Amino acid sequence: MVRHYLVKGRVQGVGFRWFVHREAAALGLKGWVRNTEDGHVEVVAAGDEPVLAELESALHKGSRGSRVDAVITHDLAESEGDSLGNFQIEGAW
């Protein structure tokens, strides 16, 4: 499965992308996480349904110092996962 998440709340400037990277990599997921221009965090992850459910649970919990107000989830076409590699942070410097 390939799933897109949009995480809203206080999720920028609090280590949220690093938190997501650590969680997703530990779960063996492929995909990426990045900040959006409007202050949210966007995640695309590919893996088995139970593992994606674990990631979603972590997204709702959030990192220390973050506040998650909403996690909006969309399933993507399986073909979207073909180009995904090891989980990474996009736009990190």
Q: Give pLDDT tens digits for 17-26.
A: 999 999 999 9
| Average pLDDT score, the chain | 96
Strand order in the sheet with 30-35: 67-76, 2-10, 41-46, 30-35, 88-89
For residue 91, what pLDDT band results from cuts at 50, 70 and 90? confident
Token output for 8: 């809203």
Any domain includes 88? no
- Domain region containing 51: 2-78
Q: What are the tens digits of pLDDT across the range 53-84?
A: 999 999 999 999 999 999 999 999 999 999 99
What was the pLDDT predicted at 93? 54
Q: Are 9 and 66 in contact (CB under 8 A)?
A: yes
Considering 35, 64, 67, 86, which one is annotated as catalytic? Answer: 35
Any domain includes 45? yes
The dihedral over CA atoms of 34, 38, 40, 41, expressed in degrees to the nearest 10, equals: -10
Q: Is 35 a catalytic residue?
A: yes
Any domain includes 84? no
Domains identified in the chain, total number: 1
Mean pLDDT value across residues 27-41: 97
Considering 3, 17, 64, 67, which one is annotated as catalytic? Answer: 17
Q: Is 17 a catalytic residue?
A: yes
Any domain includes 7? yes
Q: The domain that contains 69 carries what CATH number?
A: 3.30.70.100
